[in-house]
Amino acid sequence: MKRLLPGWKKAVRLALVVSVLFGLYALTLARHDERARIREQPVTLTPGCADKLARYGLEAGPRYISPYVLARTEQANTRQGYSDEDVRAIQRGCNIIDDLQGQLAADPARERWNATRFVRGTHSSCDHCHQGIGDKQTAAGVPQTGSLSLAASWVMADMYDQFTGILLPYELRQMQCYINSSNGYKPNVADDLIRDVTAYSRFLAAALDLRFGNRYAEQGIDEVTASQTAKRGDDYVRGAALFKERCARCHGPQGLGTVVDGKVLFPAVAGPNAFNLQSRNNFSFVSTILPGFICRNMPPGEEGTLSNQDCRDIGFYVSNLPRPAGDKQGPLAALWQQLMMRVMPPLIHTVETWQRPGEPAGSGT
């Protein structure tokens, strides 16, 4: 076989490099076009979103008048309307909040912008913390105090955040949720995943007639501090007992959540599917947020039945269950937490089975 000349070799090598680069470029264009096509497609709403968006009268048009505000104030509050593209973005945003990992979607990857890329576990959904699809309301139809309202959070975005030490834009705050509360990775600031959630949050702010820069009671969590309890201390053992009594029936005896037929009925509060050690949810990181959340929202249907002390004790216990390390804690902490997450559940299961052979021991899920 005749050998190629050195010049030909270089040319072949160059052609290979150029074709790889063109291939990557073509792939990028194809992905870009696919995203554009998805944006054009009608959105299949989750049942919760269909109900909420219908109640708030979302439809395309030059002007938007919130039926919610109209019913409460008897005044038509005319706002800038939404185009079809805006409506679809809002609908997708609502779906993302309600069902981040696409368990209710026919095609989860396309309908949720491949959100699972940014979440390590299989349980997390925004709605687990931002209940009521980011807009939890009382029976009287008013936003619930300290319910992590997305709308109230949007109108107060850009303020100084003591945890990060920066003026935190709404988009960056969402990224933190992916990193810590979902124990995953941050999407790009311009990713549709972020932009659609922002569009939905902004629509909620319009529907509820919230004003920029105002602090609303439904923003954040109404935190439960140690000074709000008689004991002014947190009791791990009492927390463990309360967890078994009040929480384990849904979240599992070891807090690993309940999954039936591949659908998450109750999310994990410990283990690899839970929020990580640096989530603001985690008691050992911020000791007032998780108790506040528990007191407001748990157990479902029996809200308000736990005292401040109960909530703090449960929060203290839950935060000491094994969970992933935070993103800034380094490889050793991550390794240790991985070890704990793998060793502790079977160990506890074995010990409990051995101690109480008659009782059904919790395997965790």
Partner 1 sequence: MTGMQPDAALAAMRDRQRAARQARRVVVTRGALAAAAVVGFVLWANFGSGRPVFSPHGTPETGWDAFRETYGVDTFGRDGYFVRAIQNGYNLVHHTHKYAWRFTRKGALDHPNACIDCHSAEALAYAFAASDRFDARLGRRVSFEEHVMRCYATHLDGFVPTTYDPAVRDIRIFARMVAHHLQLGEGALERTP
Our finding on whether 212 is near partner 1 (CB under 8 A) is yes
Among the residue ranges 19-27, 204-212, 246-254, 312-320, the one whose residues contact partner 1 (CB under 8 A) = 204-212
Residues 6+ apart with CB under 8 A from 324: 120, 183, 272, 274, 276, 277, 334, 337, 338, 341
Task: Provide the greatest CA pair distance for the chain.
Answer: 91
CB of 289 to partner 1, least distance (A): 22
Query: Tokens in use for 87?
Result: 């409506």
Query: Which residue carries 């935070």 as its tokens?
Result: 326
Q: Are 194 and 175 in contact (CB under 8 A)?
A: yes
Our finding on whether 41 is near partner 1 (CB under 8 A) is no
Our finding on whether 64 is near partner 1 (CB under 8 A) is yes
d(CA 14, CA 295): 65
Total number of residues that touch partner 1 (CB under 8 A)? 36
CB of 111 to partner 1, least distance (A): 18
Q: ∠ CA(337), CA(272), CA(181), 5° rounding?
A: 100
CB of 33 to partner 1, least distance (A): 13
User: Residue 247, by phi and psi: left (phi above 0), alpha (psi -120 to 50) or beta?
Assistant: alpha
Among the residue ranges 42-50, 71-79, 321-329, 356-364, the one whose residues contact partner 1 (CB under 8 A) = 71-79
CB of 146 to partner 1, least distance (A): 21
CB of 89 to partner 1, least distance (A): 6
CB of 125 to partner 1, least distance (A): 23
Among the residue ranges 1-9, 134-142, 160-168, 221-229, the one whose residues contact partner 1 (CB under 8 A) = 160-168
Phi, psi of 61 (to 5 degrees): 170, 165
Task: Name which of 150 and 221 has its Cβ closer to partner 1.
Answer: 150
Among the residue ranges 14-22, 137-145, 153-161, 291-299, the one whose residues contact partner 1 (CB under 8 A) = 153-161
Q: ∠ CA(15), CA(17), CA(23), 5° rounding?
A: 100
d(CA 203, CA 153): 12
Q: Are 303 and 137 in contact (CB under 8 A)?
A: no
d(CA 269, CA 271): 7
Our finding on whether 74 is near partner 1 (CB under 8 A) is no
Binding site for partner 1 (CB under 8 A): 64, 77-86, 89, 154-155, 157-160, 166-167, 169, 189-190, 195, 198-199, 202-203, 205-206, 209-214
